[in-house]
Structure formats: C-alpha cells, structure tokens
Chains A and B, each alone.
Chain A
Amino acid sequence: MKKYALFPGCSLEKMAASYYRSSVETTKKFGVELQELEDWNCCGATTYSYIDELLANTLVARNLALAEKEGLDFVAPCSACYKNAYFTNKYIKEDPDLWEHINYALEQDDLQFHGSIEVYHIIDIFAKEIGPEEIKAKVTNPLNGLKVAPYYGCQIVRPRKNGEEFENPQFFEEIIDAMGAEPVDFAERLRCCGASLIMTNRQAALEMVRVLLNNALNSGADVIATACPLCQVNLECYQTAVNEEFGTDFKMPVLYFTQIMGLALGLPRKQLGIGSELVSAAPIFSQVMVKEGK
C-alpha cells in the first residue's frame, strides 16, 4: 500500500471536511493511504507570500520537512496549498543560500529540509499515479448520464509546474470519463473563481462566480466538480449572494471530484461527507442510481 503524507491545510479541517473524508475513502479503494501530516502549520495560501516570501517559504518548508521526517511524499488537496508546497520545494532546491537560511530557521523546531520528497495535488494521485484505466476497473456504480463540469480553477495548472499543458489540459475530463460520467464542454473551466477576493473585493468575486455558474449551466452540467476547497466554498456557498446580487436563480450543486468518484466506487454518501452542502446535491441522485454501500 503506497502511503502519502496528507497536508489538509486550514480549510480541510472543518470547512471542507467532506473533501478530507472523500479523499481518504476513495484513495483507500486503490490501495493508497493518506496519513495526515503530524503538527502541520498553515501554508499562507496566497495571502502572505507577497509580504515576506522568505517567511512564506520557511513556513511551507516546515511542512515539507515534517513529511520528509516520515519518509513520505506530500499530497495537498487544496490547490493553493499545493502551489505553495510545489514551488517552495522547487525554489529551495534551486537556491543554496535560501536552503541554508531556511534550515537555520527550521533548526529551532528540530527540523531540516533535505529536498528528498515529491509534492502532489490529490488530483495528480488519481490522474497520474492511479490512472484512468485503474479507476475504470474499480468503478462499481458507473455514473451513466451524469453530466459533470470539470472545474480546474487556477493553481493546479498555473503557474506551470513542469512544462505541462496549461491551455487545454484533459486529465480532469479523463477522470470523469473513467467514473462513467460525462465531462461536459465547460469553456471557462480554467478561469479563476475569485476566491481570494471574496473578502477583499466582493463585487468582483461574485461576478467571477456568476460567470462560472452561468457557463456551467449553459454547458448542460448537472454538477460542478472541483478540486480545491476555496473554489468549492466560493462557487457553492456564495450562490445565494450571487442570486441576490444579479437576480439569477442558480441552484448548481458543487461537489469535490473525490465525492463524485466515491459515488462511482459505490461508497455510501455519508462516508463521502455528502449532506453538508448549502446547495443541495439531491437533484443529481435522482439521475444516478446510486447503489450505496457495496
């Protein structure tokens, strides 16, 4: 059983507890164990890296060093956490002075960064480590006819990690396809949802949410699949605010892709944290015969 250090980040503790649960439950089905990183600290999201990049790198390096101590590769389900961890890991290894300086700070917490582990987003585990073929083989409850909008958002594909495709990625569609569901042609799937602006520039953020919901609806989606807690909360919990602001009537369910995957794998809804949504996901269940608990 391959084991990874799971970095939940602040949002998976409570706000996105269903993402945590469904990630652990679905990966388990493929013989992958996600073990929560012991005593992790906040990675700073997008908020403090610009005030002090050295501090931001140090705080992220502490988490990487904790995973290294366990001898485990690092997995983050949050795209912002993933981006921070990925680039800190990369930048430290490229800069010996930075590396030395950060280790000097980590020493205070009896930690050292050796640069020996890899950083993944949880969607990488499904797309690359497990792969669509194996997913297909394990699906017991193919989600035939369910139209899913694959919402990539920003920071999984941007900035570019390693020269990969950023204008027309397909890995999310492939995963949805492997579940037996239908990935819809969602033109705005790479457009930012504005989560980082919801507190500081509400008007702009709500408009960004509106554009995405509208596009998902027009593309015929029954549900939006997300791979980031910030996107999920922004697209789901602010739908009422969007409706009030723009006189719209969106009732678009927004689930984590791991929750939808769990349904395809026949896991009970409760085990996937389904039921804590503010916009009910019930309409999709009437379309998909879910054989629970098998």
Chain B
Amino acid sequence: MTQTRLLIIDDDPDYVDGIRSILEKANYEVDVAYNPQDGFKALESKSYDLLLLDIMMGRGAEGVMVARKINKDPNLREIPVLIITGIREQMAFLFPGQAVHPRFLPTDELLEKPVDPKLLLEKVAALLQEAKEKKAQKE
C-alpha cells in the first residue's frame, strides 16, 4: 500500500518543522509549501490525501481564499482540509477574545495553534477515514 501523502501550506517555518516531524513520525509522507502560490503548484503537480492549511499568509487571511478556491475546483474539492491557525492571536488587537468563525470557512476541521500532537494526529486520521468512506460510497 502506498504511503498517505499530506500537504502543509503554512508560512511559518518553525511551526511547520514541528508538525511535519509529528506527522512524519506517524508515517505520513509530508510536503510543504510556504506560500499560497507554491501551494497550488504542489496541488497541481501531485495528488494529496489531506491538506493542512494556515490562514494568515502573504497579503492577509489568504488561507480563506485558498480554501474557497479548492472548494470550487472539481479536481481538488474532495481533498479534506484541516485549518491550523493562529489567527485569533495574530488579529487579537482587532477582535479581542472573539472566536474564529467557522461559517466563513469552507473546510472540514479547524484547530488553533498551538496544537497538541495527539489531537493533531487524531484529527488527521479521522479526516482521512471520513474521506475514504465518502469515496467508497461514491464507487
């Protein structure tokens, strides 16, 4: 059986190092893109089983743009998307103490940084399982 392949799109190199090593230890194959443009290049060049996506990148909350674009693309929309974000911390000055609003995020799951390694692996496994079942149903 081929290894499960994950893509991380996140602009924070140290954070990426952290979650990448957790995921690799759990035997996932992990690719990384550090900006949305490289992210789409990766998505076009290979197929991925799951995407881990940051929000605040490039010009602003571009993760939202990326998630929406993936959602509209018939070739990409089946990929489960797990948002991992520190946006609440990064934008705290503007919306102090307020929650991230899931209604505006067309994604499957959302975790806020810092992420507990165990929780991360659980969410990843659950999303992969769900996607597999969905696919099986279709076929």
Contact = CB atoms under 8 A, between A and B. Distances in A.
Interface of A: 51-55, 57, 97-98, 101, 104
Contacts of B65: 54, 97-98, 101
Contacts of B61: 52, 54-55
A101 B65 CA distance: 6
B13 interface: no
21 contacts: A51-B60, A52-B59, A52-B60, A52-B61, A53-B59, A53-B60, A54-B59, A54-B60, A54-B61, A54-B62, A54-B65, A55-B60, A55-B61, A57-B59, A97-B65, A97-B69, A98-B65, A101-B64, A101-B65, A101-B68, A104-B68
B40 to A, nearest CB: 9
Main secondary structure of the interface of B (DSSP, over half): helix
Interface residues of B, number: 8
A55 B62 CA distance: 10
Main secondary structure of the interface of A (DSSP, over half): helix
Contacts of B64: 101
Nearest to A54: B60
A285 to B, nearest CB: 48
Given A52-B60, A53-B59, 6 more contacts: A52-B61, A54-B59, A54-B60, A54-B65, A101-B65, A101-B68
A98 B64 CA distance: 11
A52 B63 CA distance: 13
A24 B105 CA distance: 44
Contacts of B62: 54
Contacts of A53: 59-60
Interface string B116-130: 000000000000000
A192 B77 CA distance: 49
Contacts of B68: 101, 104
Interface in B61-100: 61-62, 64-65, 68-69
B74 to A, nearest CB: 16
Contacts of A52: 59-61
Contacts of A54: 59-62, 65
Contacts of B69: 97
A104 B68 CA distance: 10
B65 to A, nearest CB: 5
A51 B59 CA distance: 8
A97 B65 CA distance: 8
A91 to B, nearest CB: 10
B72 to A, nearest CB: 9
The 8 closest A-B CB pairs, nearest first, are: A54-B60, A53-B59, A52-B60, A101-B65, A54-B59, A53-B60, A55-B60, A97-B69
Contacts of A57: 59
A55 B59 CA distance: 9
A53 B65 CA distance: 13
B60 to A, nearest CB: 3
A98 B58 CA distance: 12
A53 B60 CA distance: 6
A269 to B, nearest CB: 44
